[in-house]
Structure 1
Amino acid sequence: MSKRRIAIIGLGKIAQDQHLPVVGKSADFELVAVTSQRGLGHGGVPSFRTPAEMYAAVPGIEAVAICTPPEVRHAIAVEAIAAGKDVMLEKPPAATLTEIDDLKRRAAAAGRVLFATWHSQFNPAVDEARALLAAAGLKSLRIEWREDVRKWHPGQDWVFEPGGFGVFDPGINALSIFVRILPGTAFVESAELTYPANRQTPIAARLAFKSDIAGAPALSADFDWREQGDEKWHMMIETGDGRSARLFKGGAALSIDGKTVIEAPSEEYERIYVRFAELLAERRSEVESAPLTLVADAMMIGKRLTTDPFAW
């Protein structure tokens, strides 16, 4: 079976760290072009400043992976769908809920596949945690997702601009796992959002949730971009039958009562490309918007706090 011809739009850090290497070794996809406003290239494939130039010059492109900042993804995806391309979206899939709903409608009307990726869901430990809570129930869950923005977004001012999501850029990864493993639906009950005095998006956030889960478990989240040292990407869980579980390493490992029961290499991006190939074969879209909805809800009802100005 021949590989599907794919192009990558946006050659920022996530594309260079994950998408390009994964596509390069994929059994399902062949990279045939890239688009970069900065004029970056990769591996000798044709590079273009705009998607329109790319579509005109390389008509055989079947699918695109859009890896730009979120505020421009909607327009790029609309253009791709109109050009007859199937579309993979980096997380978050769009800057607003209306945009992602619009893309779903457009893709369905055009018969194109739309895949909104949540890479952190694609870990075996996440599926194991989901099965655990489905069987044992849930008493409490606390998200701690803390990292150093200078390490993970060095000099990238767009993350602090409107539409850049701030600390929710990594935090939405935790929320994608959260909605995946919960045996019910969670709602943002309260939020405290901390903004640097000179920035437009939060550098830290604390959220409390209510839910429709039996027993009214205590659910909370602590996101912070000011963490020094090692990242803290974990969830502390107390099951309904009294066990203590910890989902850690960004969802790649799970321990129960202090014993690691599953720990797998981080192959999230390999798995999202396998999933994209499956969806293309089935001609079926997959668009989960719940993590984005939780962020939107937190921004709507959150109390705004101010901290010191931030500088790189």
Structure 2
Amino acid sequence: MGRGQAVTVVAELSRAPELVEVADRAGRRKGLWELLPRPLRRLMGPALILAAWTIGSGTGLLNTDLFPPPAHVAATAWRLLGDGQLATHVGASGVRVLTGTVLGILIGVVLAVAAGLTRTGEDLLDWTMQILKAVPNFALTPLLIIWMGIGEGPKIVLITTGVAIAIYINTYSGIRGVDRQLVEMAQTLEARRTTLVTQVILPGALPNFLVGLRLGLSSAWLSLIFAEMINTTEGIGYLMSRAQTNLQFDVSLLVIVIYAVAGLLSYTLVRVLERLLLSWRNGFEGVS
């Protein structure tokens, strides 16, 4: 061992008590919060909002006529659930979102693959999709009514369009972001084009696709608000519109809660898919 190495070893040994002390302090910092399960910790934010809402209503900080307390909203939900209205409206909205989401995913993936794999596809599709991305969904509503009438068609198209754009933008970016060296290596090994696409390009674009799915599901629920303003008698958007007309603030708040829960469930679904499909990825998960 040389003199320089010996000096380094001595310095590290001299720091050993200091390192042990730092480790002990880090261990002592682990309190009750770190001991709670992650799902319970994630619920703390919504629980604090609910608590603030309850306290504000109970102390008079919130006008209960305009901002009914949670207990009143829960009673309204129970009443609508009992007479079947809530299940009818939520079921109708769920079918529309599911249909539009499935169609949007299929269309978005097909267009992204076509534009991502070939320059001709990019030239034909990319600018068109970027233009559609810049157009708000509600701006399409009057045109869709003129073109398609007031049936289910415009509603499904609005939702499908929002989802397809989110899926396309992110999946296309993921395809073009695949490491060129991986593609060249597969080509060097004389891999077939289908193998190159299914084994190299699409797996590499999968993280971006899941980001697009997360944004697409959010877009689906936002599009539903505008979609169900198109001459309908079923759906949570219709329930909201009727509540606003009749000044039923408890029903309006209930619909907002339903949208929030639906968005949270959609987010949870994508997180589960990420854990299943991206188990190979060792990404940064934050510090405690």
TM-score w.r.t. the length of structure 1 is 0.20
The structure in which a higher percent of residues are strand is 1
TM-score w.r.t. the length of structure 2 is 0.22
The structure in which a higher percent of residues are helix is 2
Pair member with larger Rg: 2
